[in-house]
Amino acid sequence: MTKNSDTIPADISQALSRQFSDHTPLSESGEKNGEKWIRKLRIPIFVKLATLSALLIFLVISSITYLILEKQKEQFIQELMNLGENMAGIAANNSADKLLGGEELDLFRLVNDISENEHVVYAFITNNKNIIKAHSTIEEVNKTYIPPKNLASVMNEKDLKIGRFLQDDEEIFLFERSITYQGLTIGKAYLVISQKNILQRIRSAKAYMLVITLIIIMIGILLSVIFSIYFSKPIRKLQESAKALGTGDFDQRVQIKRNDEIGDLGSAFNEMAEGLSEREKIRETFGKYVTPEIRDEILSGRIPFDGERRMATVLFCDLRDFTPYVEGHSPEEVIKGLRSYFTAMQKAISLNRGLVLQYVGDEIETVFAVPVWYEDHAQKAIMAALDMRASLEELNRTRTAEGLTPFRHGIGIHTGVVLAGNTGSEDRLSYTLIGNTVNLTSRIEGLTKKFKCDILASEETIKRLTGSFNLKKEPPQMVKGYSKPITMYQVIG
């Protein structure tokens, strides 16, 4: 015996409607989120990556160049100081005899030779009265030496003094070395050294490094554009496919053969598209009859379309005196009453992991442990029946208070092997239970009228119970289609 119906449960219909209405096209969702102005300012990702790469290259090379040049400058200046110190020492050591002997020509040759160094501005020698006795500029000879006004001390030792001053906006170093003879100071040797050549070299090095930096940046930008396009091209494919997917084209797939995160993203997109495609196929195949439990099982591939034999517990519930009720009330009132009744029963069944397969008129067909298996399905079915009894009592209290006719129902429960699968036409399938277990459950539900009880379970179901229940064994009964009598129990509480 198989019972099917075209009745569409409202809760399933609404769930599926929400499920499939969530796929709003990407363009529409972007506009709804106020992203039009972002699209106007859209910058391709390869441009962003190229700009970022160029900026990073510039910052790195500039920082390295600055550090190298500053270090070089310090080294050059230190070498310059050592040069000035050594040359001042040479001038002092080689001028004592000449200064005492009045050999001014030899002193001039000495300071002139020293001044030929590219870093030396001028050199001169004074006696102990600060009279210039020799100068690389001959016009300064015999003049009194007057230190520069803006001279600042850099080092001040007994025989050596180093100072610095500005001359024509250029920083000049002045080296002063005492000329001694037999321990007595008889004069001083002066050496003026400029940093101009060193600074010019630093500036040339900076210009050279700038040119190298620009060349490297250009090469970096070119490589960045190439790599950026390499990365952005598959992303663009994903974007286009995602837009098509948002419009309902679930056959979209991307071919990204790369062993990196973008390749993983492409695989994930294909898996998502495959999942959406399968879900769409299920929606078209089963219409709005599909429950979440059955849907998940089909998506996972655990439900064969040709059916499978499963051990399960089946529950049938049927309203009593429903035909007179329909004849005595308006269609609107009947539909409203059925909806409230089915809603209350559905909650009680779902609470105990039961699955409502279909509503046939005023009858409910329910199964436990199919399609999702669990061991205590017989126990769950009995508990669901007791909860349905309690829910009906609560519903009747409300109906009585509103002056409406209370409902009565009978519940039949049986455990056995069922054939669970998809049946129907090629255009519309329905997930259904077939077999003697289903037929016998329906017969047991019908016997609730004879025994004047609301819950009647077979001996096969009772044997599987683990809890303590108040049961009443009924005399064995012969039922249509069976050669042996069936033992049943009333479930009192």
Distances (CA, A) of 212 to 63, 68, 70, 145, 209: 14, 14, 18, 48, 5
Higher per-residue pLDDT: 355 or 222: 355
- The yes-or-no verdict on residue 8 having pLDDT over 60 is no
Q: At 191, phi and psi to the nearest 5?
A: -140, 125
Residue type, position 94, single letter: N
In a domain, 147, yes or no: yes
Q: Are residues 86 and 200 in the same domain?
A: yes
> Mean pLDDT across the stretch 5-14?
40
Same domain, 139 and 212: yes
11-15, 156-160, 269-273, 395-399: segment of lowest average pLDDT = 11-15
E-assigned strands of 409-473? 409-424, 429-434, 455-458, 471-473
- Among 228, 247, 266, where does a domain finish? 247
| Residue 376 · residue 466 · CB < 8 Å | yes
Helical ranges in 165-300 per DSSP H: 196-246, 261-286, 292-299
- Position 289 scores a pLDDT of 45
- Which of 213-222, 283-292, 416-425 has the least mean pLDDT? 283-292
User: How many degrees, rounded to 5, is the angle at CA 144 between CA 140 and CA 146?
Assistant: 100
Do 239 and 310 lie in one domain? The reply is no
In a domain, 281, yes or no: no
pLDDT in tens, 327-350: 888 999 999 999 999 999 999 999
Entry pTM: 0.47
Residue 1 has pLDDT above 80, yes or no: no
Residue 113 sits in a domain whose CATH number is 3.30.450.20
Alpha-carbon gap, residue 38 to 186, rounded angstroms: 83
pLDDT for 40 beyond 50: yes
Domain that holds residue 91: 36-247
Q: What is the mean pLDDT of residues 47-55?
A: 76
Number of domains present in the structure of the chain: 2
Judge if 296 and 243 occupy the same domain. Answer: no
* Residue after which a domain boundary falls, among 247, 280, 311: 247
> If pLDDT is split at 50, 70 and 90, which confidence band does 5 have?
very low
Residue 255: inside a domain, yes or no?
Answer: no
Which of 216, 247, 278 is the last residue in one of the domains? 247
What is the tens place of the pLDDT at every residue in 73-111?
788 888 888 888 888 888 888 888 888 888 888 888 988
Question: In the prediction, which pLDDT does 303 show?
Answer: 65
- Does 194 lie in the same domain as 65? yes
Residue 180 lies in a domain: yes
C-alpha span between 76 and 80 (Å, rounded)? 6
Q: What tens digit of pLDDT does each residue of 432-478 get?
A: 888 899 999 999 999 999 999 999 999 999 999 988 899 999 999 99
Claim to verify: residue 302 and residue 218 sit in the same structural domain: no
Same domain assignment for residues 300 and 225: no
For β-strands 409-424 and 455-458, DSSP reports them as parallel
325 falls within a domain: yes
Residue 30, domain member (yes or no): no
Distance CA 179, CA 181 (A): 7
Using alpha carbons, select from 374, 383, 375 the residue that is nearest to residue 411.
383
221: nearest Cα among 61, 65, 60, 48 = 48
Cβ pair 449, 320 in contact under 8 A: yes
CATH number at residue 477: 3.30.70.1230
Average pLDDT over residues 205-215: 80
Same domain, 417 and 358: yes
Residue 54 inside a domain? The answer is: yes
Given a contact cutoff of 8 angstroms between Cβ atoms, the answer to whether 306 and 431 are in contact is no
Q: What is the Cα–Cα distance from 131 to 109, expressed in whole angstroms?
A: 18
Q: Percent of the chain having pLDDT more than 90? A: 28
Same domain, 379 and 307: yes
C-alpha span between 312 and 448 (Å, rounded): 21
Q: Confirm if 173 and 106 have CB atoms less than 8 A apart.
A: no
Q: Is 242 found in the same domain as 296?
A: no
Q: Give the pLDDT score at 13.
A: 42
Q: Residue 218, Cβ neighbours under 10 Å: how many?
A: 12
Same domain, 310 and 457: yes
Query: Are 298 and 209 found together in one domain?
Result: no
Q: Is residue 146 part of a domain?
A: yes
160 contact partners, CB below 8 Å, separation of at least 6: 85, 88, 89, 175, 176, 177, 178
Nearest Cα residue to 138 out of 117, 123, 127, 153: 123
Is the CB of residue 266 less than 8 Å from the CB of residue 254? yes
